[in-house]
């Protein structure tokens, strides 16, 4: 099992199925505000903002809410000031973790994230301690029902770097950051359905997690993902399909 990518797909499905979407929309709003403030409110000139708009729209976030968040970010409307912060640490089994948050109170957030990590046998580490183990890539997932040859032709011609087959439900296309939107547009033009599309920090290597540590790690990931300030959790774990199946059965 590839680890983070398959976990990201699982979280994505859970989010889409969740009837309580206010929490998800709140996270999108914060991220949109920060992206607009840091890179401007024009999507064509701000790849991060453009990616967030696509994700929020795909999650059925109302257009008015998206525009409101962008205007707050650019200063056209007043509101609470949020900032983007990244915390680094290690989880059970020595797994490297990046936790990206959007917060209006960094001191509160870091204390709460540290508490979550500690309760689940993880620990915080200094800035830069694990970032070097990840690289920013475009990630686009497509249902496995799509013909591979059609997918390869459309994505490769647009600049995709790789198509990964680790997930039984999805093809995962990986791109350089600069080619992400070009590949996404090519897939849409070819009428290939896209399940998830985002810029993501992918691990350059993975850590095999012992089966007896898998439950602790996955519970930590779930606790972090549930925190209001957390936007993304990236980790370089590799766990067996058997261990994942056992965890899901126990927590069904």
Domains, the chain, in order of start with CATH, read 4-74 (1.10.10.200), 83-132+206-250 (3.30.70.980), 133-203 (3.30.70.980)
The pLDDT, as a whole number, for residue 184 is 92
Residues 6+ apart with CB under 8 A from 65: 25, 29, 56
The pLDDT, as a whole number, for residue 14 is 61
Contact 203, 134 (CB under 8 A): yes
The pLDDT, as a whole number, for residue 5 is 64
The pLDDT, as a whole number, for residue 114 is 96
The pLDDT, as a whole number, for residue 9 is 65
What residues of the chain score a pLDDT lower than 70?
A: 1-21, 252
Closest CA relative to residue 82, chosen from 233, 231, 200: 231
Contact 29, 64 (CB under 8 A): no
- Please name the residue that has the structure tokens 């994700």: 55
Residues 6+ apart with CB under 8 A from 106: 83, 85
Is residue 198 within a helix (H) or strand (E), and if so which, with residue range? strand 196-203
The pLDDT, as a whole number, for residue 77 is 81
The pLDDT, as a whole number, for residue 13 is 60
């Amino acid at each position: 099992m590839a680890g983070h990518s398959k976990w990201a797909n699982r979280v994505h499905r859970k989010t889409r199925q969740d009837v309580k979407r206010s929490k998800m929309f709140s996270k999108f709003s914060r991220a949109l505000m920060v992206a607009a403030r840091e890179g401007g409110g024009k999507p064509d000139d701000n790849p991060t903002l453009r990616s967030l708009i696509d994700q929020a729209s795909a999650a059925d976030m109302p257009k008015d809410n998206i525009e409101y968040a962008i205007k707050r970010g650019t200063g056209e409307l007043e509101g609470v000031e949020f900032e983007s912060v990244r915390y680094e640490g290690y989880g059970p089994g020595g797994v490297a973790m990046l936790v990206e948050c959007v917060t209006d109170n960094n001191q509160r957030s870091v204390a709460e994230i540290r508490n979550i990590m500690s309760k689940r046998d993880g620990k915080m580490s200094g800035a830069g301690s694990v970032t070097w183990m990840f690289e920013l890539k475009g990630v686009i997932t497509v249902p496995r029902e799509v013909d591979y040859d059609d997918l390869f032709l459309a994505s490769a011609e647009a600049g995709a770097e790789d198509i990964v087959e680790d997930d039984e439900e999805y093809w995962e296309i990986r791109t350089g950051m600069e080619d992400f939107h070009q590949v996404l547009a090519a897939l849409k033009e070819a009428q290939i359905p896209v399940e998830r599309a985002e810029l993501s920090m992918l691990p350059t290597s993975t850590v095999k997690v012992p089966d007896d540590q898998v439950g602790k790690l996955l519970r930590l990931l779930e606790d972090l993902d549930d925190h209001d300030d957390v936007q993304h959790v990236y980790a370089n774990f590799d766990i067996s399909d058997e261990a994942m199946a056992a965890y899901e059965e126990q927590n069904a």
